[in-house]
C-alpha cells in the first residue's frame, strides 16, 4: 500500500522503517512482520518493485532463465504483508528526532530504522569510458540493456577479477561470443581464492577459449560514432570489442548516512547485532562492512546469503529478540556456488597468505582443490573447489571451533568421515541460519 502523508505535520511515524528493498530489506520486513503482526512497517526505496534473485541474473544473461523467473517476491508482496511502500530517495536522517528526510522534502518518523539501501557498481573513469556499449552490471535494467545490444556484438571485453566478472565471462561464452577478460592482478577473487585455486579456475576459462589478460588495466577505450570499438591496456595491447562489461566491485550508498553522524568506513560499521553507533538504527546487506576477527581486514561482502543472515539478525535485534550468541558472524558464512563449472564452497578465512596459520591441503586430483585452515589447531577456514565433499562437515568444525589436530593427517583421506568423528565428539550441527541450528538429518550427520 502507498502511504498518504499528513499534510499538517508532513510526517508519518512507523514502528519500523526500512530503507532499501533488496533481499536484505525484504527479508528484514518479513521477519519483523512475523515478530510483530501489529507493527506499522514502511519500506522506502527508489524502485517500488519487490526484490529479484540477483544470483540468477547471470543465468538470465546467459539465456538460461527468463525474466519472469527472476522475481523473488510477488508483485503484491507489500499488500500481503501490510507494509507501506514509499517510492522515494532518502537524503538525510535526523538521529535525535528519529526522522528521515526524503528528496521531495517529506519526512518519515521511525521507532527503529534499518539501513539496507545496498550499493552501486564501481565504474571506470579512463578516457572513452562514456562511449556507448560500456556497461556496469547491477540491476535488471542493466542486464536488459546488455541483452538488447547482443545481436550486434561478436567480441566482448569483461573487466574485473571477482565472482561477478567470472560469471559474466561464462555467460558470454555460453552465448557463443568471443570474450577477453582483463584482470588487474595475477589472481582471481584474491579475498577468497589462493593462487592455486585461482589458477585452477583460470585454466577452466582458457580451456573454454577465453583470452585472459593478467596484470592489466584499461587505460583508454576507443570508438567511433559514439560507440566503443576497443580498449587499450597498460601493457599497450589493443583489444577489439563491441561490448564492455565492467565488474570491478561495489560502493555502498552511505553519503547521506555520514552527514547524519553514522559511523562509516568502506561501508556502515555495525556490531554483531547489526547495530550502528546511532540509537535505534541498524544496517544490513551490501551497505555493511565486515571485519575479520582473525586478520583485522575490513571488506564489503556483497553476497546474497550473508545479506539474508544480516537482515534476520538485524530484525531480531530490532525486536529485542536476538540472543548474543545468535548475532551475525561473517567468518561463519557458507558460500556455495560454481566457479566456471567447478563446484565451489568456502567458509571463513580461505586465503591465509601473510598470516601465521596452518593449511592442510588434500592430495592433488584433476580439477579439484580442497584445504582447511587451522589456527592453534582449530578450524577457521575451508575451501573446496571442484569437489564439495564434506564441506558442511568442515563448516560444522569451524562453527564450533573444533580442534582438528588429532585427525589432521586423515582429514582428506577417502575413508575418513569427518561428520562421524564430529558426532563422536558430541559437536553440535552446523549453523546455517541466524538463531537456528539445522537438524542433523538435514545435513546427513
- Please write the tens of the pLDDT for every residue from 78-131: 999 999 999 999 999 999 999 999 999 999 999 999 999 999 999 999 999 999
* 44 in Cβ contact with 86 (< 8 Å): yes
Q: What is the pLDDT of residue 435?
A: 53
Distance of CA 236 to the CA centre of its chain: 33
Cell numbers linked to 241: 570489442
Q: Which residues contact 100 (CB under 8 A, 6 or more apart)?
A: 17, 19, 44, 90, 92, 93, 94, 107, 108, 109, 110, 113
Assess whether pLDDT exceeds 80 at residue 326.
no
Q: Which of 318, 394, 410 lies closest to 350, judged by CA?
A: 394
CA 75/CA 48 separation, integer angstroms: 10
192-224 b/e (C-beta count within 10 Å ≥ 16 → b): bbbeebbebbbebbeeeebeebeebbbeebbbe
Q: Where is average pLDDT lowest: 180-184, 196-200, 319-323, 418-422?
A: 319-323
Q: What was the pLDDT predicted at 327? A: 73
Stretch (H or E) spanning 423:
helix 418-424
Domains present along the chain, CATH in parentheses: 11-54+69-119+251-326 (3.50.50.60), 123-248 (3.50.50.60), 331-443 (3.30.390.30)
Mapping DSSP to helix (H, G, I), strand (E, B) and coil, where does residue 375 land?
strand
Determine the pLDDT at residue 353: 76
* Whole-number pLDDT of residue 442: 37
End-to-end CA distance of the chain: 45
Torsion over CA: 150, 154, 160, 162 (sign)? positive
DSSP character at residue 282: E
Considering the chain, what percentage of its residues have pLDDT values greater than 90? 78
- State whether residue 92 is helix, strand or coil: strand
Spatial CB neighbours of 4, under 8 Å, sequence gap ≥ 6 = none
Mean pLDDT of 1-30: 80
Rounded Cα distance, 434 and 310, in Å: 8
Dist. CA 154–CA 335, nearest whole Å: 33
Amino acid at each position: 500500500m502507498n502511504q498518504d502523508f499528513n499534510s499538517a505535520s508532513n510526517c508519518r511515524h512507523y514502528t519500523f522503517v526500512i530503507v532499501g528493498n533488496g533481499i536484505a530489506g525484504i527479508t528484514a520486513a518479513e521477519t519483523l512482520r512475523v515478530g510483530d503482526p501489529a507493527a506499522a512497517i514502511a519500506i522506502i526505496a527508489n524502485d517500488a518493485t519487490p526484490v529479484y534473485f540477483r544470483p540468477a541474473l547471470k543465468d538470465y544473461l546467459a539465456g538460461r532463465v527468463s525474466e519472469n523467473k527472476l522475481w523473488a517476491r510477488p508483485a503484491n508482496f507489500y499488500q500481503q504483508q501490510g507494509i507501506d511502500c514509499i517510492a522515494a530517495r532518502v537524503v538525510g536522517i535526523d538521529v535525535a528526532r528519529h526522522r528521515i528526510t526524503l528528496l521531495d522534502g517529506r519526512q518519515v518518523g521511525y521507532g527503529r530504522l534499518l539501513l539496507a539501501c545496498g550499493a552501486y557498481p564501481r565504474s571506470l573513469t579512463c578516457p572513452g569510458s562514456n562511449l556507448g556499449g560500456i556497461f556496469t552490471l547491477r540491476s535488471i535494467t542493466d542486464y536488459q540493456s546488455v541483452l538488447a545490444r547482443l545481436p550486434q556484438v561478436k567480441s566482448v571485453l569483461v573487466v574485473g577479477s571477482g565472482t561477478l566478472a567470472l560469471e559474466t565471462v561464462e555467460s558470454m561464452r555460453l552465448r557463443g561470443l568471443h570474450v577477453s577478460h582483463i584482470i588487474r592482478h595475477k589472481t582471481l577473487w584474491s579475498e577468497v581464492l589462493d593462487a592455486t585455486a585461482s589458477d585452477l579456475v583460470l585454466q577452466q576459462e582458457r580451456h573454454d577459449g577465453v583470452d585472459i589478460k593478467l596484470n592489466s588495466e584499461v587505460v583508454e577505450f576507443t570508438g567511433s560514432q559514439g560507440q566503443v570499438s576497443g580498449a587499450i591496456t597498460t601493457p599497450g595491447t589493443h583489444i577489439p570489442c563491441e561490448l564492455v562489461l565492467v565488474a570491478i566491485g561495489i560502493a555502498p550508498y552511505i553519503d547521506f548516512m555520514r552527514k547524519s553522524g553514522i559511523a562509516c568506513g568502506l561501508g556502515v560499521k555495525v556490531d554483531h547485532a547489526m547495530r550502528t553507533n546511532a540509537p535505534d538504527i541498524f544496517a544490513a546487506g551490501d551497505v555493511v562492512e565486515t571485519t575479520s576477527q582473525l586478520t583485522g581486514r575490513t571488506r564489503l561482502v556483497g553476497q546474497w546469503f550473508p545479506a539474508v543472515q544480516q537482515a534476520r539478525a538485524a530484525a531480531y535485534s530490532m525486536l529485542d529478540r536476538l540472543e548474543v550468541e545468535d548475532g551475525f558472524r561473517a567468518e561463519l558464512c557458507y558460500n556455495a556456488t560454481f566457479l566456471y563449472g567447478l563446484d565451489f564452497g568456502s567458509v571463513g578465512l580461505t586465503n591465509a597468505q601473510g598470516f601465521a596459520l596452518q593449511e592442510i591441503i588434500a592430495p592433488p586430483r584433476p580439477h579439484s582443490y580442497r584445504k582447511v585452515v587451522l589456527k592453534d589447531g582449530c578450524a577457521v577456514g575451508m575451501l573446496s573447489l571442484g569437489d564439495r565433499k564434506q564441506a558442511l562437515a568442515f563448516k560444522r568444525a569451524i562453527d564450533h571451533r573444533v580442534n582438528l589436530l588429532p585427525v589432521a593427517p586423515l582429514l582428506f583421506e577417502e575413508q575418513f568421515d569427518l561428520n562421524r568423528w564430529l558426532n563422536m565428539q558430541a559437536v553440535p550441527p552446523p549453523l546455517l541460519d541466524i538463531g537456528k541450528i539445522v537438524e542433523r538429518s538435514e545435513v546427513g550427520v
